[in-house]
Amino acid sequence: MNNNQGQGKPIISDQQLQRIMPKLPEDKRQVFLPFLNRVMAISAIDTPLRAAAFLAQIAHESGELRFLEEIWGPTEAQRRYEPPGSLAERLGNTEPGDGKRFRGRGPLQITGRYNYKKYGELLGVDLVSNPDLASTPQIGLSIAGMYWTKNRLNQLADIGDFTGITRRINGGLNGQASREKYYQTAKEALGITRRRRIGTEPA
């Protein structure tokens, strides 16, 4: 079990992470695990229900932490990221090439100049000048944890509203079947039984 760099008992163990994300190679698990535990602690993702929801969502969004950068075609949908256009405007993409420059990165795939600027300022990192930093384990997971906190997703996790979490992250329910599968696996790995009620300890 990882010692979380002296910060006490880790929220998630290597064995649990392996069960939730079996496609993630062992060497990468060892890289991500300390950052995961640190970010989850900072973001108060510190109960089994919160951890299960968080890990399920990032497992789906990042292909089990194997893909931290959106593959750029560009596809027809990706061309809409480029200005001018309503989607580009919402994303804060104002300059030619912003769509590709600020494509989805990190475990929760932040997109657009606006979000890179916002989360970069919150973290004290210049993501606008260095957007690739968002795809590193440390910064990418820090952004995911901050996004989780800013959007009050722990509150939804506490009441088991996993669909509501997906809507806030995705804007819809794309890939919900995959997300739900990860969620069930994560709950089982973290000792949450199907009939356990919120506020009770696992048997």
Q: What are phi and psi of 110, to 5 degrees?
A: -65, 145
If one counts every other C-beta atom within 10 angstroms of the C-beta of residue 8, the result is 10
> Same domain, yes or no, for 120 and 175?
no
**How many domains is the chain built from?**
2
Domain that holds residue 119: 76-134
Q: By the 8 A CB rule, do 72 and 21 touch?
A: no
- The answer as to whether 200 is a domain residue is no
On whether residue 198 sits in a domain, the answer given is no
Q: Taking a C-beta distance cutoff of 8 angstroms, is the pair 158, 50 a contact?
A: yes
Residue 107 maps to a domain: yes
Question: Which pLDDT does position 34 carry in this prediction?
Answer: 96
Which pTM was predicted? 0.87
Specify the pLDDT at position 203.
37
Q: Return the DSSP state at 45.
A: -
Q: Which of 26, 61, 82, 95 is catalytic?
A: 61
Q: Is 95 a catalytic residue?
A: no
Per-residue pLDDT of the chain (203 residues; tens, 9 = 90+): 333 333 568 899 999 999 999 999 999 999 999 999 999 999 999 999 999 999 999 999 999 999 999 999 999 999 999 999 999 999 999 999 999 999 999 999 999 999 999 999 999 999 999 999 999 999 999 999 999 999 999 999 999 999 999 999 988 999 999 999 999 999 999 999 654 443 444 43
Report the alpha-carbon distance of residue 31 to residue 144 in Å, rounded.
16
Adjacent-strand bridge partners of 105: 69, 110
Largest Cα–Cα separation, the chain:
56
Same domain, 96 and 126: yes
DSSP string, 1-36: ---GGGSSS-SS-HHHHHHH-TTS-HHHHHHHHHHH
Q: Report how many helices (DSSP H) and strands (DSSP E) the chain contains, helices first.
A: 11, 0
